[in-house]
């Protein structure tokens, strides 16, 4: 079990850039194809709010959706899945297990063998090269 990080919304606003706060704390979605980077080097994507490792770079794939997509997390304990019925849709939200920040959604149209697509907002993750 991952120890939770608890902060006030004012504390999150000081830590996160405005777009990150809007997406990660207010559970909004960045515009498709707004991601300026497409890192495929050997590295790890971390939660932009609390630095928890979320996805290996080699789990990233081109989904054509306009958002970074991964077929599996580093560790299923590092994310939480929650039912999301916003906007009249039924989806599964993905949040960071440590800080409860909104990352994106998971869909069942990814590549084999799991068939999962973790559709993640690019502002919600930070890429770091493996050393």
Q: Is 99 a residue of the active site?
A: no
113 prior amide bond cis, ω within 30: yes
Q: What per-residue string of b and e applies to 17-53 under the rule 16 or more CB within 10 Å gives b?
A: eeebbbbbbeeeebeeeebeeebeeebbbbbbbbebe
Residues comprising the chain, all counted: 131
Point out the residues that are catalytic.
119
């Amino acid at each position: 079990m991952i120890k939770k990080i608890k902060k006030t919304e004012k504390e999150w606003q000081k830590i996160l850039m405005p777009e990150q706060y809007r997406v990660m704390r207010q559970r909004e979605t960045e515009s498709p194809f707004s991601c300026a980077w497409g890192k495929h080097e050997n590295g790890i994507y971390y939660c932009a709010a609390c630095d928890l490792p979320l996805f290996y770079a080699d789990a990233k794939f081109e989904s054509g959706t306009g958002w970074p997509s991964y077929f599996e997390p580093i560790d299923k304990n590092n994310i939480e899945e929650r039912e999301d019925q916003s906007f009249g849709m039924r989806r599964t939200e993905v949040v960071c297990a440590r800080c409860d920040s909104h990352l994106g959604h998971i869909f069942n149209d990814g590549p084999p063998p799991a068939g999962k697509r973790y559709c993640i907002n690019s502002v919600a993750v930070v890429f770091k090269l493996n050393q």
